[in-house]
Amino acid sequence: MTYTALIRGINVGGRNIITMDRLKASFERSGFEQVATVIQSGNVVFESAVKSSRALEQTIEAALTAAFGYPSTVVVRSLPELRRTLAKAPVEWNTRTDLRCNIAFIRAPITAAQVVAAIEPRKDVDFVTRGTGAVFMATLLRDVKKSGLPKLLTTTVYRSLTVRNYNSTRRILALMEAR
């Protein structure tokens, strides 16, 4: 089955710098097949016979922690799961050019309801929609400095999610579907 691993906190802000070649090699050493990286911020597409995203998360985290010496957090989604997530994205994200659109991919046992409860969106600036295993967050570009969404970074639930730009997520899905 085709999966993507969304790795939290690498190559961001000068911390946990890992080249994509080394990241790919780590996945291959762990027994995953057809490994490809997407963008520099820790997105890996791979094949595995394992059917449990949670088991894959644990395996990948252990391998990355051992190989790179940092406490890794990974969110894994199968091709069908990622398709379903993107199908639930707000429809206006495909037409509006005045929004910064991000998806928070949530790792169990945290729920979308818990993430939404931790967010403090600003009225008429931020737009938050709950999905299954994800939260869709958009901010008006002209008011990005007024956004209440960065408050999420200071919450305990933030450690159980990883955020991806909508367009980057569509690129990941396209790579997965091309296999």
CATH architecture of 82-165: 2-Layer Sandwich (3.30)
- Assigned CATH topology for domain 2-79: Alpha-Beta Plaits (3.30.70)
pLDDT of residue 70: 85
Q: Which two three-digit tokens encode residue 170?
A: 């569509």
Instruction: Outline which parts of the chain fall under CATH 3.30.70.1280.
Output: 2-79
- Name the nearest CA neighbour of 105 among 169, 156, 17: 169
Distance CA 132, CA 84 (A): 9
pTM here is 0.94
Q: What is the tens place of the pLDDT at every residue in 102-115?
A: 999 999 999 999 99
pLDDT of residue 13: 61
Give me the torsion for CA of 65, 79, 105, 16, rounded to 10°.
Answer: 30
pLDDT of residue 97: 96
Adjacency order of strands within the sheet including 43-47: 33-38, 43-47, 2-8, 73-78
pLDDT of residue 17: 77
Q: What is the tens place of the pLDDT at every residue in 11-50?
A: 666 667 788 899 999 999 999 999 999 987 789 999 999 9
**Averaged over 70-87, what is the pLDDT?**
95
